[in-house]
Structure 1
Amino acid sequence: MTTNSQMVTIKGTRDGLTLRLNDQCSYDAILQELEEKLSVSGTDADQPMIRVTIQLGNRYLTDQQKNKLRDIVREKQKLVVEQIESDIITKEEALSWKENSEITPIVKTIRSGQVVEVTGDLLLLGDVNPGGKVIATGNIFVLGNLRGIAHAGYEGNEQTVIAASYMKPNQLRIAGQLSRAPDQDSEGVYIECGFIDEQVNAIRIAPLQEVIKLKPDLLSFERRMLNG
């Protein structure tokens, strides 16, 4: 279903509905037309909830304004807002994204009892000894022996990985998942990676070459290193 409008366009998709809001209109005008359009046709009582994506374009809304949109959609139809997308972010959000995408290089050995914590990716040139701990909101790359504890994605990012030249950790954590060291010894010939295998929903250790195939976004790490 597609409805032409200068302010609100409603389009049916395979996943539900998309509401595209004109970013050249006032917020109040958008609310008024959205209420009118969603009141035109009802839904059957037995019909399941329909997921809705709201696209704001070049418009920024406060949390209170977003909640108002959600309330209108929920009241007028058997709909539930799954996400609200905007092409604009605040300065604070941009700075947070920049901070979380940066790489922190450290050259040292992390000894027992020491903890190193960074925002973004951690590149450690050195060893993590048993009892030592490294933590990052992003990925962890250890060019050395990882025998202690490593926690990547500690703010909840399950797409992060932990890589080490020699992987024999006391403990690996990725977001909220936890894994002990594998029973077998690693020869340390290839860099190994700890990552969340979505098929089994658990942390698995595999050669970095295999993980790159599963997570091509890791290549952005190389680009950021080259671009400084």
Structure 2
Amino acid sequence: MKKTQNVTIKGTKDGLTLHLNDTCSYEELKKELDRKLSNSSRVQEEQQLLSVKVKAGNRYLTQEQQEELKDLIRQKRNLIVEDLETNVITKEEAERERQETEIVPVAKVIRSGQILEIVGDLLLIGDVNPGGTVKATGNIFIMGTLKGIAHAGFEGNDEAVIAASVMKPSQLRISDCINRAPDQVPDEENRVMECAYISDNQQIVVDRLQVLMRKRPNLTRFEGGL
């Protein structure tokens, strides 16, 4: 009977990909990984640094185990670990991911001095008055007038966007980028729903809502985006 390989090494134009068996014991996996990397002709012959991607499948790896595997690979003189992927996450990580992708609807007016902060995407049905602040780890959608401060992706999500029926903010923030209010704002009669996003040159751009279909095609789970 053919013996199951616990580690499969595949060479790519970018380096190596290590596929790890997710049914064997962790100790068996470590031993075979060390042996195969030591015997790999490409690892021994290559003089330049090789990028390594590790795919652990359905095996849960603690943070300590992940670091142990990375250290084992780095001990080989020309290997650099670029990524370690596993399909398994903890309940806490799953709950956090659910919260971060959830749309939280709020119907109220955010008045001066008030701060509304949520985890996930914010759907505000109401206005943000001057002096008011709304913050979200994800996107911010305002079905009303934004005259205060809006801070989307405040935990470092550069892909987050801000949209409002009337965009007249005192300040826009996305991740670590800040955009103050423009000196001149067009009349409300001529305005359509607008959005703000971080451009390729790391500047916050305010544009028509329709551009999000092109700029952020993965904004929704529905086919075709917005």
Q: Over aligned residues, Cα RMSD in angstroms?
A: 2.0
TM-score by structure 2 length? 0.90
- SS of 2:129 mapped into structure 1: coil
What residue is the counterpart of 1:16 in the other structure? 15
Counterpart residue type for residue 24 of structure 1: T
What residue is the counterpart of 2:143 in the other structure? 143
Counterparts of 1:51 and 1:205 in 2: how far apart (Å)? 38
What residue is the counterpart of 1:190 in the other structure? 192
- SS of 1:113 mapped into structure 2: coil
What residue is the counterpart of 1:210 in the other structure? 211
- SS of 1:212 mapped into structure 2: helix
**Map 1:156-171 → 2, pairs under 5 A:** 156-171=156-171
What residue is the counterpart of 1:38 in the other structure? 37
What residue is the counterpart of 1:60 in the other structure? 60
Residue 166 of structure 1 deviates from its aligned partner by: 1.0
Counterpart residue type for residue 124 of structure 1: L
Counterpart residue type for residue 136 of structure 1: A
Q: 1:144 to 1:60 in 2, by over 3 A?
A: same
- SS of 1:64 mapped into structure 2: helix
* Residue-by-residue CA offset, 1:118-151 (whole Å, 9 max, x unaligned): 1101001111111100000110001111111001
* Residue-by-residue CA offset, 1:6-56 (whole Å, 9 max, x unaligned): 1111112233221100111111111111111111242555x1x32211100
Contact 1:130 1:148 in 2 (8 A): yes
TM-score by structure 1 length? 0.89
What residue is the counterpart of 2:81 in the other structure? 81
Counterpart residue type for residue 147 of structure 1: K
* Residue-by-residue CA offset, 1:135-177 (whole Å, 9 max, x unaligned): 0011000111111100111111111100011111111111111
Counterparts of 1:169 and 1:112 in 2: how far apart (Å)? 13
Contact 1:167 1:186 in 2 (8 A): no
Number of residue pairs the alignment of both structures matches: 217
